[in-house]
């Protein structure tokens, strides 16, 4: 990814993953990068606020961009201290929060980005 901190919306959607296996994205469901979006239950504004609280409470996480329907954070990995970019886009009409998590450098992530989103999903679902 290039341009640290830039919004990754392309025509209103999250940026697709590169060919490398170190990215997952719910808006471009290519088999190796596919991950389900989060479902919004109840009030979309409350769901968005809950998600932001969960994401920003994670260790080594810094907010880069926070908007009404878009959130981008950087997460520093615990061992090698690489930075990953994690993004969320609220689609209140569809009742979904789209997700994208990608490594900034390297080729393999050993499943870190997928596990990160699934951990967030579990915490988000447990708080509804």
Confidence at residue 101, expressed as pLDDT on a 0 to 100 scale? 94
Break the chain into its structural domains and give their ranges: 21-126
Confidence at residue 91, expressed as pLDDT on a 0 to 100 scale? 97
Q: What is the mean pLDDT of each run of 10 residues along the chain (128 residues)?
A: 56 90 88 93 95 94 94 84 91 96 78 92 89
47: left (phi over 0), alpha (psi -120 to 50) or beta: alpha
Candidates 2, 5, 1; CA nearest to 71 is 5
CATH domain 21-126 topology: TATA-Binding Protein (3.30.310)
Confidence at residue 31, expressed as pLDDT on a 0 to 100 scale? 80
Neighbours of 43 (CB within 10 A): 11
Confidence at residue 4, expressed as pLDDT on a 0 to 100 scale? 44
Confidence at residue 72, expressed as pLDDT on a 0 to 100 scale? 96
Q: What is the pTM of this model?
A: 0.89
């Amino acid at each position: 990814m290039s341009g640290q901190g830039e919004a990754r919306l392309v025509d209103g959607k999250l940026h697709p993953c590169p060919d490398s296996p170190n990215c997952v994205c719910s808006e471009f469901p290519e088999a190796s990068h596919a991950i389900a979006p989060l479902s919004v239950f109840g009030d979309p504004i409350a769901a968005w606020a809950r998600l932001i609280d969960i994401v920003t409470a994670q260790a080594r996480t810094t907010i880069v961009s926070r908007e009404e329907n878009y959130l981008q954070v950087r997460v520093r990995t615990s061992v090698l201290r690489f930075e990953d970019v994690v993004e969320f886009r609220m689609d209140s009409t569809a009742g979904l929060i789209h997700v994208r998590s990608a490594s900034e450098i390297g080729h393999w992530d050993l499943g870190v980005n997928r596990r990160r989103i699934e951990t967030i999903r579990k915490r988000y679902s447990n708080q509804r």
